[in-house]
Amino acid sequence: MENTIFENAWLLIEEKSAEIVKRNPETAIFNKYAKSALINSYESTINYYKNTMQNNNTIDPPTPDRHKTAAAMIIAIMRANVIVVDHDTRLINPQVKHLYNEELAISIGLSMLNSYMRYETEIRIRNLTQAIGDDDKISQLEYLHFLESSLSNTIFLPKESASRDDYMDCLKKQLYYDNKLNHLSLLAISHLLFYIEVYHKHHVCTKFFAKEYMLKNEKRANEDDIDSFVHKLCDYHIHPQ
């Protein structure tokens, strides 16, 4: 991993870790010695993927896409134990699962995915800017600016999963048990990140055209009404009744 990229990732990890520890000062501890273990785990995960793909396909090692890069960082954070639970807390109540490291891993993975999506969107905007005068491309450009604006906040997640739990909680539990069973999979996590990206873009696209429709038909609705409608529509496609 390039030093500049990793140093930027580590700064973000320190920032997110500080937020988690601040919310849980009695139980969460930042492992300041995890940095070297983190980079070693990241590089070994990426190299294992490249070697496996090359051996199976007899081609040059593939360049990991954004989903695999973010997935490798999630796995690295899990294996390096960047945030650990206070020893006394674990002894007093071993049945309670404090999923702080899992929260950090998902947060960093989604932040990395967000950055890649934002960069890709900026490139597409730059390429389409030359198309002024083409109504179809102007419409695409308006949508891309709308998408870029959405990425300045966060990546949209389904409000609920099939089990009716909070979606982020489901992701944390998945990482916890996969790690416990030594089943952390680069391809499985990258596949999940791919569908999270698809959901985000579907959410934004639906919201964009909902606003366009109301504007053309001179209808008014507040932001909460639009968000509620879009969430219901997007969730229906993932969990149809």
Domain range list for the chain: 3-238
| Spatial distance between the Cα atoms of 128 and 134, rounded to a whole number of angstroms | 10
51, 80, 45: which is closest to 190 by C-alpha?
45
Q: What is the pLDDT of residue 39?
A: 92
Residue 226 makes CB contacts below 8 A (sequence gap 6+) with: 207, 210, 211
3-state SS, residue 64? coil
Mean pLDDT by 10 residues, the chain (241 residues): 74 94 91 92 91 70 86 96 79 69 95 88 75 59 72 73 69 92 93 90 74 58 56 46 35
Q: What is the pLDDT of residue 107?
A: 93
| Spatial distance between the Cα atoms of 232 and 222, rounded to a whole number of angstroms | 16
User: Please, where are the H alpha helices in 30-160?
Assistant: 35-57, 66-80, 87-92, 100-128, 135-151
Q: What is the pLDDT of residue 166?
A: 82
Q: What is the pLDDT of residue 237?
A: 42
Percent of the chain at pLDDT exceeding 90: 37
Joined tokens for residue 16: 């997110």
| Spatial distance between the Cα atoms of 62 and 221, rounded to a whole number of angstroms | 47
90-116 residue pLDDT tens: 555 665 678 999 999 999 999 999 888
Q: What is the pLDDT of residue 189?
A: 96
Dmax (CA) for the chain in angstroms is 68
3-state SS, residue 30? strand
Q: What is the pLDDT of residue 184?
A: 94
3-state SS, residue 166? strand
User: Quick check: 172 and 106 in contact, CB under 8 A?
Assistant: yes
Q: What is the pLDDT of residue 155?
A: 82
Q: What is the pLDDT of residue 69?
A: 93
Whose structure tokens read 């070994």? 44
DSSP state of 63: P
pTM of this prediction? Answer: 0.81
Q: What is the pLDDT of residue 44?
A: 93
Q: What is the pLDDT of residue 194?
A: 93
5-38 residue pLDDT tens: 778 889 999 999 999 999 998 889 999 899 999 9
User: Quick check: 193 and 67 in contact, CB under 8 A?
Assistant: yes
